[in-house]
C-alpha cells in the first residue's frame, strides 16, 4: 500500500509540535487539511494513531510504535530526492553553511578546497552559529547545510547525519583566575565562581547542558569565540572546544582538571527535507560524511 507523503509529514509534525494546529501553521496548511491527512493515514493503516479524547491529541501505543517507521520513510524519500537531484544536474548558484565552533577538522578545509575547484562559479557563504541557531537557520532556508554539536532530536522537516569527526571540550579559566591555582578542581569549587555559558538566540537559558553547577551566577554569549574572550578577561570559567583554545587563546587560558573532563562531543550535519539540495550542496554533504583516510 502507498502512503501519502503529505499524510506522513502531517503525522510527524503533529507529534513533534504537539498539536494539529501547530503542524498546520508549520506546513502552511489549514488545521482541517492536517486532520484529514492524518485521518487518511489512520484509515490506510487500519489503526488509530492519536487519542483525541484529551484537549491535545495524544499518541496511542500504535502511534508511538509506528512513529519511527514513518520517520524512516521520510528519510528514505529525502535520500531518493537527493540522489535524483545529483543525477539531473542543474547547479545551484549559492550554498550557505551554518558552522559551529564545535566542528574543526582539517578535512573540512580540504573539502572547501575541493568545492572551489569543482564548482569555481559557485557562491559560498559560511555562517557561524551554535545549537538551536544552526537548526533555525537551516529550517528557515537561510543556510543550506548546518554543522553542530549532536542534538537529541531534530524537527521532522530536517534531515540529519553523524559526521566521523568528534570534538573535545574542556573547562577553562584565565591564567590569573583563582581556580587556575588549584591542582584539582571539584564541582563544589566551580559553584563559587561565575559560569560563562553558551546561550544561542533560539535556546532558553535554562536548558540543561550537563555543565557542573554555577551557584546561579552566569554570563552568556551566542558563540564559543565570545565565551573564550570573556574567559581570557577573567570573568569566569567556561566550557570551550579545545581546538578553539589552542588556536585563539594565545596561551591566556588554563584548562581545569575536573573529574569527567575533557569530554568528547559527536557532531551532526543537518539539512532541510523541504528544500531540494542542489548538486553542489549534495556533493558537500556527502563529502562531509565521508570518513577521513586512516593514518
Q: Which residues contact 150 (CB under 8 A, 6 or more apart)?
A: 162, 265, 266, 267, 268
C-alpha cell at 199: 546561550
In this prediction, residue 234 carries a pLDDT of 96
Task: State whether residue 106 is helix, strand or coil.
Answer: helix
The fold of the 5-86 domain, in CATH, is: Arc Repressor Mutant, subunit A (1.10.10)
288: pLDDT strictly greater than 60: yes
Level-2 CATH architecture, domain 91-166+266-289: 3-Layer(aba) Sandwich (3.40)
Q: Kindly give, in sequence order, each residue whose CB lies less than 8 Å from that of residue 293, ignoring residues fewer than 6 positions away.
A: none
- Which are the contacts of 29, defined by CB distance < 8 A and separation ≥ 6? 10
Confidence of residue 294 (pLDDT cuts 50, 70, 90): low
pLDDT at 205: 38
For residue range 202-243, list pLDDT tens digits in order: 654 334 456 665 556 889 998 999 999 999 999 999 999 999
pLDDT digit string (tens) for 7-43? 888 888 888 888 888 888 888 889 889 888 888 888 8
Q: Supply 207's cell numbers.
A: 536548558
Provide the pLDDT for residue 213. Answer: 59
- pLDDT, residue 90, reads 73
| End-to-end Cα distance, the chain | 48
Question: What CATH code is assigned to 167-263?
Answer: 3.40.190.290
Domains 5-86 and 167-263 share a fold: no
Q: Encode pLDDT of 103-153 as tens digits.
A: 877 678 888 999 999 988 889 999 999 999 999 999 999 999 999 999 999
Give me the residue spans of the domains in the chain.
5-86, 91-166+266-289, 167-263
Burial of 269 (0-12, 13-18, 19+ CB in 10 A): buried
Distance CA 180, CA 211 (A): 18
What is the pLDDT at residue 88?
A: 66
Measuring CA to CA, which residue among 119, 244, 249, 103 is closest to residue 165? 103
In sequence order, what are the residues at sequence separation of 6 or more whose Cβ sits closer than 8 angstroms to the Cβ of residue 141?
Answer: 272, 275
Amino acid at each position: 500500500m502507498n502512503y501519502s507523503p503529505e499524510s506522513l509529514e502531517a503525522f510527524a509534525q503533529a507529534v513533534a509540535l504537539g498539536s494539529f494546529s501547530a503542524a498546520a501553521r508549520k506546513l502552511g496548511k489549514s488545521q482541517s487539511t492536517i486532520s484529514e491527512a492524518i485521518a487518511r493515514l489512520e484509515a490506510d493503516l487500519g489503526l488509530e494513531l492519536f487519542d483525541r479524547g484529551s484537549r491535545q491529541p495524544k499518541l496511542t501505543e500504535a502511534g508511538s510504535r509506528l512513529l519511527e517507521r514513518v520517520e524512516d520513510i521520510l528519510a528514505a524519500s529525502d535520500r531518493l530526492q537527493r540522489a535524483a537531484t545529483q543525477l539531473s544536474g542543474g547547479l545551484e548558484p549559492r550554498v550557505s553553511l551554518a558552522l559551529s565552533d564545535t566542528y574543526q577538522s582539517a578535512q573540512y578545509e580540504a573539502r572547501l578546497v575541493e568545492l572551489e575547484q569543482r564548482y569555481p562559479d559557485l557562491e559560498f557563504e559560511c555562517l557561524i552559529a551554535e545549537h538551536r541557531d544552526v537548526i533555525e537557520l537551516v529550517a528557515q532556508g537561510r543556510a543550506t547545510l548546518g554543522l553542530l554539536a549532536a542534538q537529541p532530536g531534530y524537527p521532522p522537516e530536517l534531515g540529519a547525519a553523524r559526521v566521523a569527526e568528534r570534538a573535545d571540550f574542556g573547562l577553562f579559566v584565565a591564567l590569573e583566575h583563582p581556580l587556575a591555582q588549584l591542582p584539582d578542581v571539584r564541582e563544589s569549587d566551580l559553584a563559587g565562581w561565575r559560569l560563562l555559558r553558551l546561550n544561542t538566540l533560539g535556546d532558553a537559558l535554562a536548558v540543561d547542558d550537563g555543565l557542573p553547577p554555577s551557584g546561579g551566577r552566569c554570563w552568556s554569549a551566542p558563540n564559543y569565540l565570545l565565551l573564550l574572550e570573556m574567559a581570557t578577561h577573567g570573568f569566569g570559567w567556561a566550557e570551550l572546544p579545545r581546538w578553539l583554545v589552542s588556536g585563539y587563546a594565545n596561551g591566556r587560558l588554563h584548562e581545569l582538571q575536573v573529574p569527567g573532563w575533557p569530554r568528547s562531543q559527536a557532531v551532526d550535519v543537518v539539512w532541510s527535507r523541504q528544500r531540494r539540495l542542489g548538486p553542489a550542496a549534495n556533493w558537500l554533504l556527502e563529502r562531509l560524511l565521508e570518513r577521513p583516510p586512516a593514518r
